[in-house]
Amino acid sequence: MAIVRKGQAEWKGGVPEGSGSVSVQSGAFSGSYGFKSRMEDGPGTNPEELIGAAHAACFSMALSLALAQAGHVPTRVQTTAKVHLDKRDGGYVIPLIELVTEGEVPGISDEEFQKLATATKSGCPVSKALSAVEMKLTAKLL
C-alpha cells in the first residue's frame, strides 16, 4: 500500500502583486510565499527551497540507511540541496540541483562513503522523482 503525503498551496491575486500560503499535512510547516520571495530576497518561502528541503531530507535519511545497512551507523549526515531556477525559452526551469553532504561516520573509508553517497544520489525517492533534473553531488566524510 502506498504512503500518501499532502502539501497544500493557495495563491490569491495576480502575479507579481498576489500572495500565497503553503502548508504540509502534518502541520509541521506552514508559511507564506510570493513573487518577491521567489524572484528576489523577499520574506517567505518559495517552491524551489521547499524542493531543496525535501530533497536534502530524503537524501540524508536514505544515505543514513545505506550507511547503516553497510555496517556503519552514522553519527550525523547533513545535506544541503541547492536548487537552481533559470529563465530559458520564455519560461522558467530547474536545470540543476547541487547536493552537498557531509557525514560523520565512524569506521568507514572515504572510498566506501563516496560509493554509498553516489548510489543514494540516484536512489532516494525524491531524487527519483526529480530525475529529469541534472544533479551534482559533493560528499565529504568528516
Residues 129 and 63 in one domain: yes
Residue 19: what pLDDT?
97
Q: What is the mean pLDDT of the chain?
A: 98
Residue 1 maps to a domain = no
Task: Report the CATH number that the domain containing residue 97 is assigned in CATH.
Answer: 3.30.300.20
State the total domains in the chain.
Answer: 2
Nearest alpha carbon to residue 100 among 56, 34, 49, 50: 56
Residues 57 and 124 in one domain: yes
Peptide bond into 106 cis (omega under 30): no
Residue 26: what pLDDT?
97
Residue 98: what pLDDT?
99
Residues 76 and 15 in one domain: no
